Structure 1
């Protein structure tokens, strides 16, 4: 497949996957009461964290492999099996423990347990197809999943409980998982199956999980903490606002997933940094334009999207839009750092992700949910400034070592 076609299919696949997540939340908001959507959002946040951990541990090291030989094909097969086993090992205890906990949110978490291998397994197969330079197969599977999930949720009546919606959403991914498994088996049958390799010391996924934990999961789990300490409505409000910016997550994910190998074709650290800075400006401008578009939506259109959650989510648009513009700059800054010296990104993620949590909690204490949203925005601004300050220092080093940096696992090994 030509590089241009592969890029188009990869970005389209990210778009379909993100659109699926957006429409799931939109459908849940329209089918649920405000309290019901808050519970569904809390469970979906748990899934989002587990999805990020799975992608960081299994998917990201996988896509750094070069070539499509027997070793790479075997690694894709092993990663798929490992994900199914690991998701089952996590989902079963989750369901068992939550059975003993009272409340509607706990019942919804019980339903998440058995569907976890389905949704995480299908996501890992997307990484496998990307690694094998077959992004059109990932796109095909994700289109199937989108159609199935929309058809399944369309059959639900208004007022359906969060537990039912979680189960329906999870099982609707089963056809896409089976299709992906068949397609992968045809291309990897007979290759070595060694899922235990992913548990060995030195596996790159451990480093990526730590970066994800401090960079992404921390803020999401802190939102859950605010909901537990204050009111569950804060989860629904913040989640509803961020749902509206789902298309930007597609661009961010595409940049971080496919940026290093594409930018690696540019010779010279400074030229790569300039290209990344241009990308940051484009993404930030896109975020600002999208926020403006959402702010101009009539209330009827907003309620059509998010139902009763729209008024609280709309009030957060200025803060969330500003946050996403800063996130665009920070994401590209981290991308530049990974190309210059991947060992520097972890410290930045730890310090400024924790700072964002502190600012969010402080903002909530001072001004409620809007204050929490502006606190998250300020945290993203600080991280963006820190990343590009570090980029400027590293890119000013004498030339010589930067051009040899590769996107291969060996180059990223801590």
Structure 2
């Protein structure tokens, strides 16, 4: 597949996957009572966390591999088998524990345990197709999944309990999973399934899981903490402002999760760094442009989107837009580091996630909600500067390219 076609298919696939997640919640909200939707949302949040952990442990190390060798194809086959095995074990434990607990939420979690291997294996197949430079297959499978899940949920009666919606949502991914299994088998036939390397101590997925936990949990918990001890307005305002930038999160996820196979096609380290820098500029300009569009929205449109939260969220748009522009640069810096030496990203994630919490807290103490927003922006700016400083150092030292690290990432190293 040509690089341009692969880029288009990869971005489109991320858009379809994000749209599926959004529409699932929208349809579930329309079908459920307030209480049942709260239960469904809680279960879906658990799934989102498990999905992030699975992608960090299995998918992100996989896409760091280069080439179409038997070793790479075997790694894709092994990653898929590993996900099926581990998700079945976790899902089984979830079923056993929650089956003993009372309440509708426990029943819904039990259903999540049943369908967990289906939904997580389908996601791992997307990483495998990206690694094999077959992004069009991931797009086809996710488009099929979108059609099936909307059709299945739309056929449910109003007032359906959360447990029923969860099992319908999960099983509706079976056609897409079967398509993925068939396509993946054809491209990896004859290669062995090696699960042991994925359990080894040096597997990069362990680092990436820690990064996922630190990067996603720290800032969210700090916002909730300040909202608890300070002003609840802080939580609503910041969440409202960041919700408006949801489309950019899709682009950032696409860059970090599925960018390595595309940029890794370039022949030299210098070209890969330049391509990543160009991507950073494009994403930063996109963030600035999106912030401008949001700032120009009429108040009536804004209130239709966020209700009474709109005036406060709108006041935060300059700070949040600047934060997302800095996040674009930092995200691409982390992508460049993943290509140069993926072991260098963990320390940056930990240090600057904690720094962001400090800036958030200090900003709130100095300037309330507006200060907190600019504090988050400052944290993103510092992280971006640190990542690209590290990129420049590695590039000047002439560190080895991707291949030695990709072997360890997949767990095949010593």
Residue of structure 1 equivalent to 2:348:
348
Residue of structure 2 equivalent to 1:197:
197
Cα root mean square deviation, aligned: 4.0
Deviation at 1:138, TM superposition (A): 1.1
Deviation at 1:121, TM superposition (A): 0.8
- Mapped partners of 2:371, 2:146: distance in 1: 35
- Mapped partners of 1:74, 1:342: distance in 2: 21
Deviation at 1:143, TM superposition (A): 0.3
Q: Is the 8 A contact 1:82 1:195 kept in 2?
A: yes
Residue of structure 2 equivalent to 1:123:
123
CA distance change for structure 1 residues 119 and 333 in 2, over 3 Å: closer, same or farther? same
Residue of structure 2 equivalent to 1:185:
185
Residue of structure 2 equivalent to 1:169:
169
Residue of structure 2 equivalent to 1:312:
309
Deviation at 1:331, TM superposition (A): 0.4
- Mapped partners of 1:101, 1:55: distance in 2: 29
Deviation at 1:373, TM superposition (A): 5.8
- Is the partner of 2:402 in helix, strand or coil? coil
Q: Is the 8 A contact 1:118 1:170 kept in 2?
A: yes
- Mapped partners of 1:366, 1:30: distance in 2: 42
Deviation at 1:100, TM superposition (A): 5.7
Q: Does 1:138 align with 2:138?
A: yes
Counting only pairs closer than 5 Å after superposition, residues 177-326 of structure 1 correspond to structure 2 as 177-220=177-220, 242-264=242-264, 265=266, 267=268, 269=270, 272-297=272-297, 310-312=307-309, 315-316=312-313, 318=317, 320-326=320-326
User: Which runs of 5 or more structure 1 residues have no equivalent in the other structure?
Assistant: none
Q: Does 1:329 align with 2:326?
A: no
- Mapped partners of 1:237, 1:320: distance in 2: 11
Between 1:296-305 and 1:40-49, the stretch displaced more is 296-305
Give the TM-score taking structure 2 as reference length.
0.79
Residue of structure 1 equivalent to 2:66:
66
Residue of structure 2 equivalent to 1:409:
406
- Is the partner of 2:201 in helix, strand or coil? coil
- Mapped partners of 1:91, 1:240: distance in 2: 33
- Mapped partners of 1:322, 1:37: distance in 2: 34
- Is the partner of 1:316 in helix, strand or coil? helix
Deviation at 1:119, TM superposition (A): 1.2
Deviation at 1:358, TM superposition (A): 5.0
Deviation at 1:142, TM superposition (A): 0.4
Deviation at 1:263, TM superposition (A): 4.2
- Number of aligned positions between the proteins: 406
Deviation at 1:62, TM superposition (A): 2.1
- Mapped partners of 2:274, 2:63: distance in 1: 25
**Deviation string, structure 1 residues 280-330 (Cα, Å, up to 9, x no partner):** 22212212222333454557766776xxx6543774352544432221121
CA distance change for structure 1 residues 128 and 154 in 2, over 3 Å: closer, same or farther? same
